[in-house]
């Protein structure tokens, strides 16, 4: 991997296709029965890989057709955090 070689830091990748799941599954939603928040796939990945104690750098790659709705949702999620 070129980034690992040039920087000396291990770079890893996780790939997901945002169009393969509902927006609620991607970012999270409120459970209709309990009323509790359930993190979505992207939010879970973000929490897992955004740990400053990690020795590697992890890239989350949203691989799929660009959709204005999920891009807007992603911007909203990242702006709030």
Region 44-69 average pLDDT: 88
Model confidence at 66: pLDDT above 70? yes
Spatial distance between the Cα atoms of 35 and 24, rounded to a whole number of angstroms: 14
Helix axis angle, 68-80 to 41-49, nearest 10°: 40
- Res 44: pLDDT: 92
Listed residue (41, 50, 48) closest to 70, CA to CA: 41
pTM of the predicted model, to two decimals?
A: 0.71
What pLDDT digit, counting tens, does each position of 15-40 carry?
Answer: 988 888 888 898 899 999 999 999 99
């Amino acid at each position: 991997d070129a980034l690992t070689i040039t920087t000396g830091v291990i770079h890893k990748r996780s790939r997901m296709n945002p169009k393969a799941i509902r927006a609620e599954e991607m970012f999270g939603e409120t459970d209709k029965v309990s009323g509790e928040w359930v993190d979505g796939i992207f939010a879970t990945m973000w929490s897992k890989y955004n740990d400053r104690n990690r020795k590697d750098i992890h890239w989350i790659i949203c691989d799929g057709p660009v959709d204005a709705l999920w891009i807007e949702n992603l911007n909203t999620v990242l702006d709030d955090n």
